[in-house]
Chain A
């Protein structure tokens, strides 16, 4: 359905996106996972025809849309990371405005507005000004504004940033429902790996402007098939213990979060024995040690040496 070929974008001296290749098939949800500044937003801005690429191409049904963006735009809905709404207008007035710019009018416009309000759960608050909404409600309306013209392809740029877990779940369920009930194709960018894991059939992992891994969830996690992810909880994190860990060549990656230390090491190594030896040497007390099933976060850590939310 949609394909990005060697997509590259330079901003003066900075290479924001470097030869990105990705594709979307009809009816699937594809995740674009990466930390802040990875180039996800620039990539989707190019895919959605908002900015032209420095080089490369975007093809929609095998036709380039760089010079003829209208064909894609007609079937595209975009949910920007920012709240792209008028805060001094009510939810209904916003939806009516965005419906009208999509050439909806009369009874059709009224019907679509009512449907979308019901879908995003804002029917009761339709006449309230957006500036009085909670963050979650604004996010839901932000999505609703992209759905009025029933797009075939929905591009969502971090649609759950800064909201409560309840609203987040509501949004994720809504996206899933749109995909299942209306066969809407979704490109979903996030730096929350659990969202991408929950929603997406296929995933692209991006860092520093490049795609560093892609495939289904299982394919990506298999990258770590040769490694253990061990999570150690300690009474107190000591510099001597961390130093001892870092000096071991078989310990590939170390992350520290409060009193939890996560390490990656090859499966053939008896990492437990090594950890306990180092703890004894540095007088470190463990409160628990656990081998974890690898997550996308672990894959990202493995590939980049950094956590997704660093």
Chain B
């Protein structure tokens, strides 16, 4: 019985050129247009995109204590008093952490784009999981002390600062990464001691060492890849509204009455709707991603994970289709499908990031986007393309399944009892 419904729905879909054009042709055209039009900005080749970066500073030590410790050691040394004073002054002026926070990221031209947040070391892992941050700078205990000892007495190994990049925020994290690199390259003793007024001191040729760790160690997402995902997940939602509209046509034309009189249960009918929408969405995404991947040379590092995310998104689309069908039947109009198609899909796409990485606008939008099926799946797809593994996107897959189950429960509740339609 359910197979009959699914076959019928597939036949109707395939024979409707208008639907095919909207669900397959349109996203492909949009991927091409947006990918090329915004490629320069997104890929960082040109243009001046707005940057709003939030950087977490995790200082595991204490810069002042480190300087104090270094000062005490210098004072205890056997050397001329004036040299001691020069060293102490140089050490105080050097303060690499303060310089990075206040003089580099806090410099006037950057201040309005970059926000520094001090994060306690105990919350490092939480910060690493938090997509809000563009980057995290971790300064290990005694960073300043060891650096001073190495710079002035070559007694310690050059110390490392750890820099974690959030590649989901590809534009901003790249810029912040470049700033850190500049800092590493130019923050030498020359400038530091020059700033401190030390001229005659023997200057070791040593830079502040930095160790940059990206979370994925993968290339950033290209614009065309971004829009392949963005448009794919957006147009998958249209499958739900289209299937809901088809179902309402069945009610309007009394085909649904024929089904009722054939003793078809509402469970069979709704299951048919769910599987049809799920299958159509899955096929649509496979065709779209398949064609785009071939044409633009995009490869999926983990095909199995990609298929699972696609199945989970299709599962959510199936749930939405059943919910829209129930609401259409309940209100005895196509309003639910139309409202979803014209208003909700646009809103979901906006906050979910289909048009641009809207999550960077505010935390609220970022959170809201993560709750949309398109946003959740988009995030999972992007992670997979960046080299994440299935375990890293499991949350999104589970969320999409829960979303689907919730919509199905709602649709059972909303489906009108016999004769209770509006």
- At the interface, yes or no: A70 with Cβ under 8 Å from chain B? yes
- At the interface, yes or no: A1 with Cβ under 8 Å from chain B? no
Is B418 touching A52 in the complex (CB atoms < 8 A)?
yes
Which listed segment binds B: A97-105, A207-215, A219-227?
Answer: A97-105
State the Cβ distance, A295 to closest chain B Cβ, in Å.
31
* CB under 8 Å from chain A, chain B span 1-22: 1, 4, 8, 11-12, 15-16
Q: CB-CB contacts of B246-264 with A at 8 A, as 1s and 0s? A: 0000001111011111111
Q: How far is the CA of A97 from the CA of B419 in the complex (A)?
A: 25
Residue from the list B12, B254, B418 in contact with A80, Cβ < 8 A = B254
Contacts A52-B418, A84-B255: A76 and B11 contacting too (C-beta < 8 A)? Answer: no
Residue from the list B8, B254, B264, B419 in contact with A84, Cβ < 8 A = B254
- Please indicate the chain A residues that have their CB under 8 angstroms from the CB of B257 in the complex: 50, 78, 80, 84
- Please indicate the chain A residues that have their CB under 8 angstroms from the CB of B254 in the complex: 80, 82, 84
State the Cβ distance, B41 to closest chain A Cβ, in Å.
43
Residue of A nearest to B418 (CB): A52
Is A89 touching B12 in the complex (CB atoms < 8 A)?
yes
Is B253 touching A76 in the complex (CB atoms < 8 A)?
no
Residue of B nearest to A155 (CB): B261
**Chain A contact residue count (CB 8 A cutoff):** 29
Q: How far is the CA of A48 from the CA of B260 in the complex (A)?
A: 10
Contacts A50-B257, A82-B254, A84-B255: A97 and B263 contacting too (C-beta < 8 A)? Answer: no
- Please indicate the chain B residues that have their CB under 8 angstroms from the CB of A190 in the complex: none
Is A98 touching B258 in the complex (CB atoms < 8 A)?
yes
Residue from the list B4, B15, B253, B261 in contact with A88, Cβ < 8 A = B15
State the Cβ distance, B400 to closest chain A Cβ, in Å.
31
Is A88 touching B16 in the complex (CB atoms < 8 A)?
yes
Residue from A76, A82, A83, A88 having most chain B Cβ neighbours under 10 A: A88
- Please indicate the chain A residues that have their CB under 8 angstroms from the CB of B255 in the complex: 84-86
- At the interface, yes or no: A176 with Cβ under 8 Å from chain B? no
Residue from B4, B15, B253, B262 having most chain A Cβ neighbours under 10 A: B262
Q: How far is the CA of A51 from the CA of B12 in the complex (A)?
A: 28
- Please indicate the chain A residues that have their CB under 8 angstroms from the CB of B8 in the complex: 86, 89, 93, 97
- At the interface, yes or no: A180 with Cβ under 8 Å from chain B? no
- At the interface, yes or no: A49 with Cβ under 8 Å from chain B? yes
Q: How far is the CA of A16 from the CA of B411 in the complex (A)?
A: 30
- Please indicate the chain A residues that have their CB under 8 angstroms from the CB of B264 in the complex: 101
Contacts A84-B253, A97-B4, A97-B8: A50 and B258 contacting too (C-beta < 8 A)? Answer: no
Q: How far is the CA of A122 from the CA of B101 in the complex (A)?
A: 83
- At the interface, yes or no: A127 with Cβ under 8 Å from chain B? no
Residue from the list A76, A85, A129 in contact with B261, Cβ < 8 A = A76
* CB under 8 Å from chain A, chain B span 258-279: 258-264
- Please indicate the chain B residues that have their CB under 8 angstroms from the CB of A98 in the complex: 258, 262
Is A78 touching B261 in the complex (CB atoms < 8 A)?
yes
- Please indicate the chain B residues that have their CB under 8 angstroms from the CB of A88 in the complex: 11-12, 15-16
Is B262 touching A101 in the complex (CB atoms < 8 A)?
yes
A-B contact pairs, 27 of them (CB 8 A): A49-B261, A51-B418, A52-B418, A73-B261, A76-B261, A80-B254, A82-B252, A82-B253, A82-B254, A83-B253, A84-B255, A85-B253, A86-B8, A86-B255, A88-B11, A88-B12, A89-B8, A97-B4, A98-B262, A100-B1, A101-B4, A101-B264, A102-B262, A103-B262, A129-B15, A145-B258, A149-B262
Not counting A49-B260, A89-B12, a sample of 13 additional A-B residue pairs whose C-beta atoms are within 8 angstroms of each other reads A50-B257, A50-B261, A78-B257, A80-B254, A84-B254, A85-B255, A88-B16, A89-B8, A98-B258, A101-B258, A101-B264, A103-B262, A145-B258
Q: Which residues of A contact B (CB under 8 A)?
A: 48-52, 70, 73-74, 76, 78, 80, 82-86, 88-89, 93, 97-98, 100-103, 129, 145-146, 149
Q: Which residues of B contact A (CB under 8 A)?
A: 1, 4, 8, 11-12, 15-16, 252-255, 257-264, 418-419
